[in-house]
Structure 1
Amino acid sequence: MGEERDYRERAGAPEGELTFWSTTQGLDMQARAIAETVVPKLVEKGIPLDEIAVLYRAAYLGDKVADALKQADIPFVRTDGNALVRRSSRLARFIEDCARWVVGGWRDADPRYSRLIYRASLLVFGRHATADEERFLSEQLIGFLQSTIGHVDGTHAWLQRFDRELDILLAVNWP
């Protein structure tokens, strides 16, 4: 926040909306208000759950929000220090790098494809991949990445496709 990051919106994306709800009660009541009032009102307006973000300053505050959302039976994904998948995990970093490559990183080699294939090889084979295994993996990875450049299906659809194709990739009989 307050830092220039050169973000660009997806072409043709609708304008976003930033809304504030104030409450004078303590943190537990604020978390309940998020789960019982804020999120349901946004969903009523037609905003899908995967387009709603709740910002908080620390993971312990996220714990309160998560507990309230669980009580209200509202599904959620956390990206803080208490997230299911740590941002520092090799798989998470690989997926983020692939996404960055697809949305324009391929133009500037940011990240470099060699880094993507190196990380993929480590995830799939560890440090003991043969040249044939690395070549096969590279063909599969570049095929997936190139086929998703320019698609505007959204992050969720891209991640689902990534998951399906990764499952297929891991299930194949290696040469």
Structure 2
Amino acid sequence: MRRLILVAVLVLVAAVVYRSYGSAETGTGGTLTLPQPAPNVGAVAPSFELRSEEGRDFELSDEGIYVLAFWSTLNRQSNQSREGFERLASEFANDDVEFAAVYVNSAPNRESAHYEVLRDRSGALTQSYNIKRVPRLFLIEDGRVRLVQTGFYEEYDNELEAEIRAYLSEQEERAG
């Protein structure tokens, strides 16, 4: 019985020490959550070139505004976010906002989509954006991340639309 109590006390002491001196990288310390995958808001977005499923070349450069979504056809939230993404891509088609969906597995046949359908066959793009969970969406302005959305939730489309409108308004004021 004494051994059991001694082991319990040692485990408790070890847990307290671990929690006290842990960090965000280990998922311990002040919170039990890991930091969000990079890149985050304000960070440089990795540039890339990729051929779309329709055979067109797509390039994300450090100039312009892009909406880049990482999806999986096997993920319910990815499928839910597609309708709003399509609506916004159609709505902003004439505003020089480029929309692209990167599928981490097979891509659906979307010949009539108002956005580029990309497939990350090698996994290099998914790795460079450090995608751990889909859907994950980035609004990228002149090579920097302006908005990051992880998962699908009720205000998903509205947040994205508000940020795009704010960007376009800023562009009008600068040109003005």
Same fold (TM over 0.5): no
Greater RCO between the two (CA within 8 Å, min separation 6)? 2
Structure 1 or 2: more helix by fraction? 1
TM-score, normalised with respect to structure 1: 0.29
TM-score, normalised with respect to structure 2: 0.29
